[in-house]
Each structure stands twice: as C-alpha cells, then as structure tokens.
C-alpha cells in the first residue's frame, strides 16, 4: 500500500492496512526524516490513545526509532493528543507521534506526526515526510531494537505526561474559581484518553463532576464513532437531565475536540461553541489579536472580528493549515468546524480539555448558564444555525462526484442567490448575509461532507438538500 497522510496524519483500518509492518515502515521513514533534518539528537516523543493495541503499535514505533540511534520518550499510559503535544514542546523534542485515529470509528487507528512546535504538521512537512516513508516502502530497510536493550543504552525513557500538562492548563485558566463555584458538571470522554482529566483538574472544591463512559472500551459501544456531536451524545444528554447538571462536556477519542450540552440538554453546535469561546477571550479576558478559522467554521467569527476590531484569517480545513497561520499571526484562537479549537499561550493544536475549561471559566466569570451565553452571543452577531451531513460513498465514484459538483454552477441553492463560489477546499457556495454551503471530501474517511449555515434550521435543511442533489448522492 501507499501510506498517505490526510487532514491530520495517516489513518487506516486495523489489520487491513494499519498493520505492524506498515507502522514500522512509517516509523523508519520518520526516523530517516529526523536524521535528514538534523532533529534526531533532540529526541522523539511517542504517545498513544485507548484504541485497540495502540500501546503495542506505540512500542513498535519505539523499536524502530531507537534502533536508528534516536532517543525516545514514551508515554507510560494512554494520553490525549494535546497532552502529548504539550509534553513534546516542554521537552524540546525534535518531533513526536501519537498512535490514534482521533474520532474515527473503532476499526481505525492512525499515526499523527507532530513537528517540534507541537501542532499538526504543515503541508510542506507532510510532503517531505511522505517522501521518506515512500522510499522505505519501495526498498524496505527497517531497523529494530529490543526495548529492554534500548533502555540499557539510554535510548528509551518512559514518562508520565499528566503532571506538567495539568499544571500548565491550570496556569491558563483559573481552575480554583471553577472548583469553588459550586457547578454541577457531567463529563463524557466517550471511552477515550481524556478520561480522568477534568476530575483531576477540578477536584477539591464544591463543584461536582460526574464522569460517564470513562472506562477504556476500544469498541466505542453505542456510537458510530467517538466524535462529540449530537447523535453520539445521548448518554451525556440523559446524564445532564438525571443529575440536573449546569453543563455537559464531551471529548473525542483523543480529547482534542470538545462537545457541549447546555443545562436543558440541548447540544451546542461546534460553531456556536467556538464563537462563544472567542467572545469570552475578547470580552471577558480582554485579549487582543487575530482570530483564525477554517472555511467550514461559522461566519459569526467574522462578525466578532468586526465588533472587537481584530484581524481575521481563513484557511482550508485542518490544523495543518490553521496552526501555522496561528503561529505566524500570533492569533488568540483558531478553530475548525469539527470541534477542535486552539488558544494562544498553549500549543498551536486543538485541545478539548482546555476548551472545556474555558467554557466553565466563562460560566463562572459571567454567572451564566450555557443557554444564556448563547443568547449573549446572538445579541452581538445575530442568530446563526448550522448542520452537517456525512454521506458514505464508493471511493471508485470520487472523480465522478467531484466532476458533477464542479460543473454544477447553480445560480441559487435553497432558494438563496449564489453570490460567489470558493474552491480552495471543496466547493463552497457563498450566499447573501454571510450564509454559505459547502461540499468536500473528508481528509480522513471515505465520506462526503455537506455543510450549511443560515438564519434558521429550515433554511439550513433546504441548503443541505439542494447541495446533496447537486452531487447526485
């Protein structure tokens, strides 16, 4: 097979393409990349999530990297992607990787490569890394070292990734105020590696935190995939009602994304959540600086940028685009529609745990519930509604579907005039009043994604229906 990186890393189905042989090929190509770019002496951090055999795949990577004379720092437990990224940065490592497929369904696993800045690898880095991996695929020359021997030679160190991360996020957010606020919180890590983090951060006060689905279960039962979107969060919505909670928070499989349920059991869309968090940074925390959003993120960010007179930058989908812009422009926040948000003063990487803490911080500072925060947002930017449809397709039909979309050229969709078309990532139809609809292929799964934002749920539904007809799916 050809190992190709998508929106964030290489992902494949376990035992079909995500095999120990292919993981070792990927690791050897990574080692060659580190050596060629004079990063090897700084060492390599390896982490993993709660998926099937993730710890075993992580050890396989360590066998290869250490055999190339590169020091390895291997997590001693499953940990969220942002926790590993932060440790990579704190240890000044040359690079790192996390064995995770993030929000994909249970049959998937993956290899996320993280450069020395701790964020998603830029397209330029990915291209150079893929070249090294492809060369190993063509002429396999894979080195391996027994990990006990690697330890004896001083090439392998095991470390606990939690303490420094917990101390760092507690320096960004006033966790003591949250502990003492008397909030009633339900947290759902969706059987992923975020389990236990909110409990450790918030214990010791009169705030109560109930964690559900915290045990490891690589099958992710009861959900299509561990993605914190409404259709996967029925247990969290029920728990919010059962415990009369003030808020429900969920993180995905590797805890780099967050989902929010309000006090009435209503799911806040990922667009609403990011806009609320940006308003918090600008209004309550007094931060100043650019905002960065992907093309699938809400136009409410554009309006907030106008209200607070800060620059706005737009990118393609994926933190491999958002992260570099965030660093270059010293942005205060960057966000994408999938529920991944990053913040200045941390790593240029999505962090579902920090995102959830900032939402709690806003509730404490304003003494408002999530529904009230949404109302405050709408007072500033007006009502915005959004939805996304994911449609499985036959990969052999990809070119045919793409051709139908590109030649469609509609003058209106959902009864709204099309005022422009943007093709930087998929096809986005620009409509009046900053409303929009977009269709693009997923960078991680064989799915066609259709997105729309408009002034009402009915308008969103009409847009989604028309775009789906354009694609013929």
What are the domain boundaries of the chain?
10-162, 178-381, 385-471
Report the C-alpha gap between 416 and 461 in whole angstroms.
13
CB distance 377 to 273 below 8 Å: no
Residues of the chain above pLDDT 70, percent: 100
Q: Is the pLDDT of residue 8 over 90?
A: no
User: Looking at residue 104, what is its pLDDT?
Assistant: 93
Report the C-alpha gap between 79 and 244 in whole angstroms.
30
Q: Residues near 314 by Cβ (< 8 Å), separated by ≥ 6?
A: 292, 293, 294, 295
What are the DSSP calls for 361-422, one per residue?
HHHHHHT--HHHHHHHHHHHH---EEEEEEEE--GGGHHHHHHHHHHH--SEETTEEEEEEE
CATH of 385-471, one of 3.40.50.300, 3.40.367.20, 3.30.310.50, 3.20.20.70: 3.30.310.50
- Residue 430, H or E segment: strand 427-431
Count the Cβ atoms, other than its own, within 10 Å of residue 281.
22
Could you report the per-residue pLDDT of 421-467, keeping only the tens digit for each? 988 888 899 998 889 999 988 877 788 899 999 989 999 999 999 98
CA nearest to 61, candidates 148, 151, 143 = 143
Classify burial at 330, counting beta carbons within 10 Å of its beta carbon; exposed 0-12, middle 13-18, buried 19 or more: exposed
Could you report the per-residue pLDDT of 351-392, keeping only the tens digit for each? 999 999 999 999 999 999 999 999 999 999 998 998 889 888
Report the C-alpha gap between 277 and 358 in whole angstroms.
7
**Cα 250 versus chain centre, distance:** 13
First-to-last C-alpha distance (Å) of the chain: 28
What is the CATH code for 178-381? 3.40.120.10
In this chain, the answer to whether the domains covering 10-162 and 385-471 adopt an identical fold is: no
Report the C-alpha gap between 466 and 103 in whole angstroms.
28
The strand order across the sheet containing 412-413 reads 385-392, 447-454, 436-441, 427-431, 416-422, 412-413
What is the pTM assigned to this prediction?
A: 0.93
Report the C-alpha gap between 52 and 106 in whole angstroms.
8
**Helical spans, DSSP H, in 18-122:** 20-36, 54-67, 81-90
Residues of the chain above pLDDT 90, percent: 84
- Name the percent of the chain in helix, strand, coil, to the closest 5: 40, 20, 35
Categorise residue 463: left if φ over 0, alpha if ψ from -120 to 50, beta otherwise: alpha
Could you report the per-residue pLDDT of 55-78, keeping only the tens digit for each? 999 999 999 999 999 999 999 999
SS3 assignment, position 274: helix
Compute the mean pLDDT over every residue in the chain, rounded to the nearest whole number: 95
CA nearest to 103, candidates 443, 411, 470 = 443
What kind of fold does domain 10-162 have according to CATH? Answer: Alpha-D-Glucose-1,6-Bisphosphate; Chain A, domain 3 (3.40.120)
For range 180-200, the mean pLDDT: 98
Report the C-alpha gap between 49 and 416 in whole angstroms.
44
């Amino acid at each position: 097979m050809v190992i190709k990186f998508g929106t964030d890393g290489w992902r494949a189905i376990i035992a079909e393409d995500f095999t120990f042989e292919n993981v070792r090929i990927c690791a050897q190509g990574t080692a060659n990349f580190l050596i060629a770019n004079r990063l090897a002496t700084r060492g390599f951090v390896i982490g993993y999530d709660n998926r099937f055999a993730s710890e075993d795949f992580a050890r396989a990577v360590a066998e290869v990297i250490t055999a190339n004379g590169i020091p390895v720092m291997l997590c001693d437990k499953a940990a969220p992607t942002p926790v590993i990224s932060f440790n990579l940065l704190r240890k000044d490592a040359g690079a790192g990787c996390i064995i995770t497929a993030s929000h994909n369904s249970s049959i998937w696993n993956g290899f996320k490569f993280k450069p020395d800045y701790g964020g998603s690898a830029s397209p330029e880095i990915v291209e150079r890394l893929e070249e090294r991996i492809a060369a190993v695929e063509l002429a396999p020359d894979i080195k391996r070292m027994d990990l006990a021997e690697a330890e004896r030679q001083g090439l392998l160190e095991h470390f606990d990734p939690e303490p420094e991360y917990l101390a760092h996020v507690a320096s960004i957010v006033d966790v003591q105020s949250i502990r003492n606020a008397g909030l009633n919180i339900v947290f759902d890590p969706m059987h992923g590696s975020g389990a236990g983090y909110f409990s450790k951060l918030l214990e010791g006060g009169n705030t109560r935190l109930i964690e559900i689905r915290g045990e490891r279960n690589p099958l992710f039962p009861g959900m299509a995939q561990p993605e914190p979107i409404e259709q996967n969060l029925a247990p969290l919505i029920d728990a919010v009602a059962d415990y009369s909670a003030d808020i429900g928070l969920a993180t995905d499989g590797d805890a780099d994304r967050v989902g929010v349920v309000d006090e009435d059991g209503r799911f806040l869309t990922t667009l609403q959540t990011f806009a609320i968090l940006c308003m918090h940074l600008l209004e309550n925390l007094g931060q100043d600086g650019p905002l960065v959003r992907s093309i699938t993120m809400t136009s409410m960010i554009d309006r907030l940028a106008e209200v607070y007179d800060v620059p706005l930058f737009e990118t393609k989908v994926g933190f491999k685009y958002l992260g570099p812009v965030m660093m270059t422009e010293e942005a205060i926040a960057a966000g994408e529609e999938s529920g991944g948000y990053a913040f200045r003063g941390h790593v240029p990487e999505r962090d579902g745990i920090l995102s959830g803490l900032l939402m709690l911080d806003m509730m404490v500072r304003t003494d408002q519930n999530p529904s009230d925060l949404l109302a405050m947002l709408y007072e500033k930017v007006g009502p915005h509604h959004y939805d996304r449809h994911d449609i499985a397709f036959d990969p052999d039909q990809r070119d045919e579907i793409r051709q139908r979309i590109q030649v469609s050229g509609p003058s209106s969709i959902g009864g709204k005039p099309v005022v422009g078309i943007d093709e930087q990532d998929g096809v986005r139809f620009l409509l009046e009043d900053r409303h929009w609809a977009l269709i693009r292929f997923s960078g991680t799964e064989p799915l066609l994604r259709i997105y729309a934002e408009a002034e009402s749920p009915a308008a969103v539904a009409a847009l989604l229906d028309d775009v789906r007809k354009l694609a013929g799916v």
